[in-house]
Structure 1
């Protein structure tokens, strides 16, 4: 039907009417599907003489990356449409951002949060349309990182794999999932690795996560506190965090002090993006918000992601950073587990495994 409309639109007698119709359908759909990521022409219905102000709510671990992407989007959008754009960023842990968008504390036009269920919660309140995660490739995750280890220079505990960590006497520094929702990935990783080794054996996975927790010497308030404890306060032997965090630190203040270890099999950490349809529609910013989400799937944004130590989705960009990213097997919550809803129930919800682990 859409193709037929495009054909008819080409006929000049119906051009004006059908341009309006097609653009209305686009606006109601919440943006482009995965085939359109980074590609479709901007709709001519917007008043490009008026500047647009977007609010982008992100997880704080991705804040620096999104500052760079925000800055790149503004000239991209100006060149593409002639419209001046401004992007305001709000950063916080994923669940806090979810709550703030739901209660209206943050009038976000876009969210890029730690896990999909946080965006599902916003969708359940009617602010995001159904099927939001199918709008873009990779389940609407424009780039990824991995759960990894930061160790002292020379790796004195010889930690290379998850088994090495779980079976060692190493002291672990890690953020607390109870106070920092993005840290759910760090406890989900040993769960996923164990199930990859012994599929369907959840008792073994529980034991594996419990053994990991036994190694924890510092359960920090958030990633920033964990970094301070490990790097500045010299606590622990291993800091469990994301590969992007690890590479950032090892190339800056931790240079010469730490090494980065990425296990050969570990869990992918996948930030997820969605337009907040109701907010963007209310302020007439839907097209620009869609354009921003599209922009994340362009080579320019993918390159920025790699420069900030996130693994890009484009092979053409990955090839340019081959020395930066080791070849590993990345497990995903959707492909190797049964989705975040089940994982949340098993590990982090009331009655889940994490709440049964000894207090730290």
Structure 2
């Protein structure tokens, strides 16, 4: 796997593993010093009392986080003797954001689809400034890739983003207007075009428009897109995440689909943050910080790989080398100009997606 213009090196991950092994109570990333300084003002928990956390996650990561929750519960018990329970709240990323801001979802920690969802929570004063620098990789503990699910044998020979815009190809994907996690699926052809023709936004607009023109089913969310492609037999290619595609291909849809990862595609990077105001109010700051730390341990990274998410640690990546296709992964932060600009260009009220033909 190649990460184009990626500034972070595998050596960072290896150094982290060494730190984790040597320090049992703070398995964390390079940005953790600021976080621990902030957390030090909070009194330590009374470990004789049980504790409960609410963990808000996106639908596409829910199965993974069930295993991570169980791993952290045991790790925390081993390290502190304290019993802890974790209530998972899964949903569309933008819906999670709205529920946290509105107070309906009292999440101590959240791992959402894109950074701007947590930026919105921060703008309401619920998360401290600089939250994205608390951990390496802009606080994204693992990643996946935008990939293609095709019919067995790949009869339309769909291998690259260029193949998706051929006149005889029908695309199934999710609607970024109703499912915020689906923003990745339109951001990917945008990033691909700009990688091919740097700084040419007109070419990128034209390519995304061509992609949209081939969309036969624009589903409300990934679950509906999955049903349209698998159960209803619609489309030639389903644009989704590599993790979802591989999970199906090795599970309930084994033998019914093939998975194609383009040679250049966009990395999908879920983002984690403690919801500072909630954790402070609940007296769970120490445990919530520790949970975020835990995501950057070899244990959690291994669980991510087992669920077909690409780990950050090179040592774990090597163990699962045959699981992930070689590809050049573009990223929103390194190859584009960040989610704020991308949101404005594609998904804001005046953005490109709103100007495309209704599906």
Establish whether TM, by shorter chain, passes 0.5: yes
CA contact (8 A) 2:173 2:239 kept: yes
Structure-2 residue corresponding to 1:62 = 61
Structure-1 residue corresponding to 2:191 = 192
Structure-2 residue corresponding to 1:308 = 307
- Matching of residue 289 in structure 1 with residue 306 in structure 2: no
- Report the TM-score, using the length of structure 1 for normalisation: 0.89
Q: CA-to-partner distance for each residue in 1:318-339, whole Å, 9 max, x for gaps?
A: 0011111011110000000000
Aligned ranges 1:173-252 → 2 under 5 Å: 173-252=172-251
Q: Distance in 1 between matches of 2:169 and 2:44?
A: 60
Q: Distance in 1 between matches of 2:210 and 2:163?
A: 11
Q: CA-to-partner distance for each residue in 1:266-316, whole Å, 9 max, x for gaps?
A: 000000000000000001000000000000000000000000000000000
Distance 1:282 1:335, change over 3 A: same
Q: Which has the larger radius of gyration?
A: 1
CA contact (8 A) 2:55 2:86 kept: yes
Gaps spanning 5+ residues in structure 2: where? 1-26
CA contact (8 A) 2:29 2:293 kept: no
Structure-2 residue corresponding to 1:10 = none
Structure-2 residue corresponding to 1:24 = none
CA contact (8 A) 2:28 2:297 kept: no
Count of matched residue positions in the alignment of Structure 1 and Structure 2: 328
**Aligned-pair distance for 1:33?**
6.0
Q: CA-to-partner distance for each residue in 1:222-272, whole Å, 9 max, x for gaps?
A: 000000110111111100000001101111121111100000100000000
> SS state of the match for residue 34, structure 1?
coil
Structure-2 residue corresponding to 1:109 = 108
Structure-2 residue corresponding to 1:123 = 122
Which one of the candidate residues 17, 29, 34 is aligned to 2:30? Answer: 34
Cα-Cα RMSD? 1.7
- Report the TM-score, using the length of structure 2 for normalisation: 0.89
Q: Distance in 1 between matches of 2:244 and 2:106?
A: 28
CA contact (8 A) 2:150 2:257 kept: yes
Gaps spanning 5+ residues in structure 1: where? 1-30
Structure-2 residue corresponding to 1:3 = none
CA contact (8 A) 2:170 2:216 kept: yes
